[in-house]
Every structure is written in C-alpha cells, then in structure tokens.
Amino acid sequence: MQIPSARSRLRFSIVASSADEVYPPPVVFSVRRRTWLLAAPLGLLCGLGTVAGAMRLLGPRQATPVDPAPPCLPARPCLAVVIDDIGRDLRALDALLALPADLTFAVLPHAAHTAASREAILGQGRELLLHLPMDPLDRRHITDEPVVVGRDDSVARATRRCLEQVPEAVGVNSHMGSALTQNAAALDAVVGELRASAASRRGDRRRTLFVLDSRTTEHSVFCQAARAQGLTCLSRDVFLDDPPARPALTSAWERALAAARQRGWAIAVAHPYDSTVEVLRDLLRQRQIRVVRLSRLVGRLVPT
C-alpha cells in the first residue's frame, strides 16, 4: 500500500447500519484520487470481531436538533414587522434595510423598482412577500398598479401574473383589497392560484407560500378562504403608520407590544414613509421586543 503524504486529508467516521446512527468515524486517506477506508481501529476489530459489534458496544449516538431561537411566548414575545408598498422608492428601502431588525418586506409586483428591490432584499438575506394588488371599494386608491386582481383580466390569471414577478416570495399579503377580500368566490380563485404555485414549489421549503391578510376591511374573509384550501393564514394586528405621524406611530407600537405580550406574538404592518423609518429607528434601538421575520410565526403557529 502506498503511504499517504503529509498533505492527505484525515477524517474519522464509522458508518452505522442505520442511516440515522452516526458513530466516531473511520480513517479516510485521500491521495491522488484514491481513498483508503479503515472501518475501525484494528484493536477494536480484534476485540469485538466486527464493526457491528463495536456499534452494539458504543450504542447509537442520538442527534439533538438545536433551535437557536427561543419560542414566541407571552413571557418572551415576538413581533413581526411587515413593510408594505416596496418597489416604489429605493432610497426608503435602503434606509429600512439598515435598521437593526429583521423586517419582512412586501414587494409590489409591477412597481418601477420591483426587480431592484427584490435584488437588494435578497442580497441581505431578508424575507419578502408578494404584495398582491386587489380591487378596493374606492378605485381612486389605485395609483401605479397596472394589474389589479378583481379589476383586470380573470382573477386567476391576474394573480398568476403578479406571482410571476416576485418568484422568491415566501408568502402573499393583500395590497388594498377592501372589495375583493370580501368576495368569497373571487378569493377561492386567488387561493387556487396560490395553492398551484405552492405545489409547484414543493420540496423547496423557502418557497412554500402562506397568506397574511392585511385586513383593509373588517369584513375580509381572506383567511377563511386560504385555510379552506389548506394554506396557512395570519392576520395583521396593528397598522403602525395610519396616520404616519410620530405620536400615532408610537401609540400604535405600544398596541403592537401589548398584543404580543398577551398572545406571545403579534404582526404589525407599516409603510416606507420617512416618518416611519425615523420612528422605527428610535423604537428598535430600545430593544423592547424581539422582532422576527414573518415566516418565523408561520413556522411556530398554525392558526385555527
């Protein structure tokens, strides 16, 4: 046998008969594309006869999954902060990305800077949603949205066109939608497209869709429609910047904290206003609560 050089890599592992059992490893020498596998030290083989015997002596070593983030509980609550209307203003997005918190960004599908916003958010390893434009009761609220679900095309086709523009989205939340989110039949078509998209992404955990109902109307049935077809849905607890003045923002933040401390978690929605960025910068520095990305709550909790 050729003696391995000093530059050879040395690894130790013994592979168990079960794929779930891993033991202290055999020696592996790799030199010039050749591999020598020493299944166990010779003394152990001589004393026990087989590798299986060594494993019976050592017993299985159980892997313990470690979750570095503690659960969201009333004693240690979490707050997800979702920033809507991303894609219109890159300067505001840069300021939000610089804040000391793991915010979640809801990206409009056809805004002037949708592609650049997606790139900036993903470049920092942040989480994004599709901010799905939906028909409002007052269509004067529609500004720069070329595709609005419930106004243009068929509901299913319009939903699909929007999904295609933000393929990295882990979830969907409603933009406007005070009319459409009351329409159960239309929502069934929307959710059907979301389910189809989720099914096509199966096997990629990062791209499994969920729904956040922004609740632009108290009569919304978005979550009922989503859950009826097997999608997880959460609802917004507080709008932080409606109106976007400092006193109102501070008061809304306190309401969000109270909701989180009562239930263990809460969801606040805000917008990329200058006043929102300034107030959030001040509030986040106080570290009053853990701010987590929205999917963290989806992973912990499946609402009923």
The 10s digit of each residue's pLDDT in 45-64 is 444 444 444 444 444 444 43
Q: Where are the domains of the chain?
A: 9-58, 78-299
Highest mean pLDDT of the ranges 32-41, 136-145, 207-216, 226-235: 226-235
Nearest to 293 by CA among 174, 176, 129: 129
Angle between helices 274-285 and 90-97 (to 10 degrees): 0
Nearest to 82 by CA among 279, 266, 217, 300: 266
Q: Considering Cα of 252, then 253, then 258, then 262, what sign does the dihedral take?
A: positive
Mean pLDDT (whole number) for 191-212: 76
Instruction: State how far the Cα of 71 lies from the Cα of 139, in Å rounded to an integer.
Output: 42
Nearest to 162 by CA among 141, 120, 143, 134: 134
pLDDT digits (tens, 9 = 90+) for 106-142: 999 999 999 999 999 999 999 999 999 999 988 888 8
Mean pLDDT (whole number) for 196-202: 75
Of the options 3.90.1150.10, 3.40.50.970, 3.40.50.300, 3.20.20.370, the CATH number for the domain spanning 78-299: 3.20.20.370
Instruction: State how far the Cα of 252 lies from the Cα of 235, in Å rounded to an integer.
Output: 16
Band of pLDDT at residue 208, cut at 50, 70 and 90: low
Asked if residue 243 has a cis previous peptide bond (ω within 30° of 0), the answer is yes
Q: Which amino acid is at 103?
A: L
Q: Give the phi and the psi of residue 136 in degrees, each rounded to 5.
A: -95, 165
pLDDT digits (tens, 9 = 90+) for 166-187: 999 999 999 998 999 999 999 9
Cα distances from 78 to residues 43, 90, 99, 132, in angstroms, run: 54, 28, 17, 25
Who has greater pLDDT, 45 or 290? 290
In DSSP terms, 73 is beta-bridged to 76
Mean pLDDT (whole number) for 23-38: 37
Cα distances from 191 to residues 114, 156, 245, in angstroms, run: 23, 9, 35
Q: Give the phi and the psi of residue 97 in degrees, each rounded to 5.
A: -65, -25
Band of pLDDT at residue 37, cut at 50, 70 and 90: very low
Nearest to 82 by CA among 252, 287, 294: 294
Residue 3 predicted with pLDDT over 70: no
pTM: 0.75
CB 40 within 8 A of CB 14: yes
Band of pLDDT at residue 18, cut at 50, 70 and 90: very low
Band of pLDDT at residue 14, cut at 50, 70 and 90: very low
Tokens linked to 129: 């949603």
